[in-house]
Amino acid sequence: MKLVGLVLCIVLAVVGFNGRWSAEAATNCNPIQLSPCATAILSSTVPSEACCGKLKEQRPCLCNYIKNPRLQKFINTPNARKVAATCGTPFPTC
């Protein structure tokens, strides 16, 4: 649980310090929306229904997250790909 909290803090810091995002992008593409997936990505557990819903919702944003050096280490991983596959959400090719 502490690890999930740490990941959420990192994501919040990235969102807070990344001033390059426009207001529209911040509204539509918000990596904190993927927080229900943190446990599944970090521990290889089965993703929750909430995780799958958010992953599908945020799929158009994944390439931007992968290109962000602060986020790619969480998003562009074998576990994240496994979560996407389990949720039936194709992992993007960027």
pTM: 0.69
Tell me how far apart the alpha carbons of residues 19 and 41 are, in angstroms, rounded to a whole number. 26
Task: Enter the DSSP assignment of 35.
Answer: G
Report the Cα 63 to chain-centroid distance in Å.
11
pLDDT surpassing 90 at residue 88:
yes
Structure tokens at 21: 């995002």
pLDDT, one tens digit per residue, over 9-63 is 444 444 444 444 443 344 479 999 999 999 999 998 999 999 999 999 999 999 9
